[in-house]
Structure 1
Amino acid sequence: MPENPKYSFVVPAYNEEKNITLLYERIISLMNHYKDSWEIIFINDGSIDKTIEVLHKLAEKDKNVKYINLSRNFGHQAALSAGLKFASGEAVISMDCDLQDPPEVIQQMIEKWHKGNHIVYARRQNFRKDNIIKRLGSKIYYRIMGKFTRIDIPKNVGDFRLADKKVLAEINQMPEHSRYLRGMVAWTGFKHDFVDYKRPDRQKGESNYTLGKLAKLGMDGVFNFSMLPLRIGFLLGLISTISGFGLLLYQIFDVLINGVYYHLYKWLVVILFIFMGFMFMLFWIIGEYIGKIYDDVRQRPLYVISEMKNFE
């Protein structure tokens, strides 16, 4: 570890004109305690407000502020990946722009990094005031990921973390287009630790992570790091088959023992619908995996950059 390491802050931004300057000032206040060099890399992910204008003014005033302007909205994980690729620090701190990832926590993260941890996660100790659907979905998601994934993805952490350049070197060479950085970072297996904190409410603006985006992120995590969907398809197929044979045997038993007559077509229709439902679900699961393979085979870039500022 260098005596005076460089720190990189990587911050995706989508319609965050009201929060960028506030975050910048709080990071400046934090880094005034260190003699080390640093940079802040903002990634404008196709914002439709004045985000890029605010970033341009900051970058003109402070050469430590750099920005990547994407040609359109490519999504949070793609934008974050762009920033990680161009980060030059020995330690890279990724965080959101909404001030719900408080910069003051970073000091503790840096201390734990200096103790030999390659990854330091910021772990939430409280939960946001989300609606019941989001909270329930989050609990179900973490339970599924904890039991059925092939790696140990920490609970109650987002993309607020510190990772050193050894970790980033592995992340940046991963080719997949369907990015789930929480899982990718955990997959590297490097020594890690946690800093617990209470997440504050968003101060300005509205959350850009809709329920649909959260669902997509969760699905990317499940499909990229778990064989659970395929196993569910097999389990449902097995249940459908056993149920079909069970109904058929029950009917035969009732006819032979009790003399009750059943129209066979009634049972055939039920069994047919069971198998049709199973087949449609299985096709959907297979389609998800094929779609992800197709995305990688096309080899399209993960994002398109229209402008970069203050990069050497």
Structure 2
Amino acid sequence: MKQITILIPAYNEEEVLHQLYQRLNTVADNVKKYSFEFLFVNDGSKDNTLNILKELRKHDRRISYVDLSRNFGKEIAMIAGFDYATGDAVVIIDADLQDPPELIPEMIYYWEQGYDDIYAKRRNRAGETWLKKWTANKFYGILQKTTKIEIQENTGDFRLLDRRCVNALREMRESQRYTKGMFSWIGFNKKEILFDRDPRAAGESKWNYFKLFDLAIEGLTSFTTAPLRISAFFGFTISFAAFIYMMWIIIKTLMWDEPVSGYPSLMTVILFLGGIQLLSLGVIGEYLGRIFNETKNRPLYYVNVYNDEKVRSWVETNV
């Protein structure tokens, strides 16, 4: 009997874990052809999340959990889950129940048809503000226009991955990760299914606009060098315009003896050019910072406890 691992990154999700478990349990009981593993990755939660997982595991041995040594972020929590997942396929789902577990049997059906990556695309984004929807739409539009790979729009991490997709993602060990782009980058046979996203079942979202902006920067700098090219284009354009303007000033002065404008125009030009230079340096700095972080070659995460047993010396390269 093949096994399916349901991977759930969790950070301060004590209010929803019991409800999530009940719905996952119902789905698993209705799918008789497969065995299931419920793999929770506790991403340094400060509430009662870990204790609840330990209690659930006492009553259901299908539950496994990886307790990370601190909060590493969802992207790292997912790669930790890939490292510890034992199933022939892995379903990634958020703990907040915005992604309905009842969609998993449909994913399994398409997996049986030969698809490797069955991803759920949102028809709507219930519980999200118009600003978040608008910025998400614009981000995906910009990313799609600047990258050479097709990025699925309005899709999150909710998907079923065949074991060969999981193994491919495990080989990608960069520390600054944009997993949504990695899903597209690895390729394989993909299938889209549509669903209506629900509001959070309980608790509050861990994503604020600052974190979303940071994730957007990760996405842009991970999968395209377009910002660097845009900076070079701005530099060339401004230099050319400055040369034309300089020639115009010289011609006016020599031919018509027109006085050159003084302090206001000079300050305007200096501030404008200074702003463009700082913007370009910032773009270069983003890429340079990524190089700096990757060259450290640090382990992606450390594990404190795996299934009730302390991990004394265990880094990602030993998994």
Higher mean displacement: 97-106 or 121-130: 121-130
Correspondence 1:20 to 2:48: no
Quick one: distance in 2 between partners of 1:261 and 1:181?
59
CA contact (8 A) 1:12 1:44 kept: yes
Aligned to 1:181: 179
* Map 1:206-217 → 2, pairs under 5 A: 206-217=204-215
Aligned to 1:56: 54
Quick one: distance in 2 between partners of 1:232 and 1:134?
26
Residues 182-236 of structure 1 show CA distances to partners (whole Å, capped at 9, x for unaligned) of: 1111111101011100001112111111111111111111100011111121122
Residues 130-188 of structure 1 show CA distances to partners (whole Å, capped at 9, x for unaligned) of: 33432222121101111111211111100001101001111101121111111111111
CA contact (8 A) 1:95 1:161 kept: yes
Quick one: distance in 1 between partners of 2:102 and 2:262?
70
Output the TM-score relative to the length of structure 1: 0.93
Quick one: distance in 2 between partners of 1:277 and 1:265?
18
Task: Name the SS of the counterpart of 1:271 in structure 2.
Answer: helix
Aligned residues: 308
CA contact (8 A) 1:13 1:97 kept: yes
CA RMSD, 1 decimal:
1.7
Structure 1: which amino acid aligns with 2:8? V
Cα offset for 1:258? 5.0
Correspondence 1:122 to 2:98: no
* Map 1:148-227 → 2, pairs under 5 A: 148-227=146-225
Cα offset for 1:96? 0.4
Aligned to 1:30: 27
Residues 246-285 of structure 1 show CA distances to partners (whole Å, capped at 9, x for unaligned) of: 4323433444555431236654443333332222122211
Task: Name the SS of the counterpart of 1:177 in structure 2.
Answer: coil
Unaligned runs of 5+ in 1: none
Structure 2: which amino acid aligns with 1:160? F
Task: Name the SS of the counterpart of 2:76 in structure 1.
Answer: helix
- Aligned mate of 1:9, from 2, 6, 9: 6
Higher mean displacement: 274-283 or 48-57: 274-283
* Map 1:129-144 → 2, pairs under 5 A: 129-144=127-142
Quick one: distance in 1 between partners of 2:2 and 2:215?
33
Structure 2: which amino acid aligns with 1:276? G
Quick one: distance in 1 between partners of 2:83 and 2:214?
23
Correspondence 1:302 to 2:305: no
Q: After TM superposition, what 4+ stretches of structure 1 lie above 4 angstroms from structure 2? A: 256-259, 264-268
Residues 40-80 of structure 1 show CA distances to partners (whole Å, capped at 9, x for unaligned) of: 11111111111111111011111110111111111111111
CA contact (8 A) 2:173 2:300 kept: no
Aligned to 1:275: 273
Q: CA 1:144–1:283 in 2, change beyond 3 Å: closer, same or farther?
A: same
